[in-house]
Amino acid sequence: MAVSVVIMNGPSLNLLGVREPEIYGRTTLAEIEEVCRARADRLGLSVALFGQTNYEGQMIDWIHHAREIDAGVIINPGSWASSSTAIADGLKILQRPVMEVHLSNVHRRGIFQHGSLVSQTATGIIAGLGHHGYLLAMDALAEKLAAPDAGTAPKSA
């Protein structure tokens, strides 16, 4: 079965479970990946877990690979959401839906985190629901990918 969904995570998400658990929770990235794999199986999706990177160029390479394999994307860009025009620009090339996920409600946080460049290219955005956001993103992607028009909306960013 061809990969239909890829999941990628940005800076410092490797520290989930120990980094500011009052904000990000105690669930580790490995645990999130495990429940995402189980949800994908239940939904009949093939998922590739690209993992986590602290290197912007690596994230862009992953986005390009997602395009090459024609997969939908779940991305938690972390702090790059508000600072990386390169990642936002890379997401514009995708032909499948993109779900942006944030564990915390970024709109209640510091002013520098308001205004996601990634959101301008995303099909949908889920924030503030902890690790459940990944599962909701998986559900939404399954629905979007099953639609006759499974591409993304026009990108304007």
Question: Structure pTM?
Answer: 0.90
Question: Tens digits of per-residue pLDDT, 95-111?
Answer: 999 999 999 988 776 65
Catalytic residue among 24, 64, 107, 132: 24
Mean of per-residue pLDDT scores for the chain: 89
Q: Is the pLDDT of residue 154 over 50?
A: no
Q: Is 102 a catalytic residue?
A: yes
Residue 152: per-residue pLDDT: 52
Question: Tens digits of per-residue pLDDT, 54-63?
Answer: 999 999 999 9
Catalytic residue among 55, 64, 102, 107: 102
- The neighbour count for residue 104, using CB atoms within 10 Å, is 18
Question: Tens digits of per-residue pLDDT, 33-66?
Answer: 999 999 999 999 999 999 999 999 999 999 999 9
What the chain holds in terms of domains, given with CATH numbers, is 5-146 (3.40.50.9100)
**Binding site members:** 76, 89, 103-104
Higher pLDDT pick, 79 / 59? 59
**Binding site members for substrate:** 76, 89, 103-104
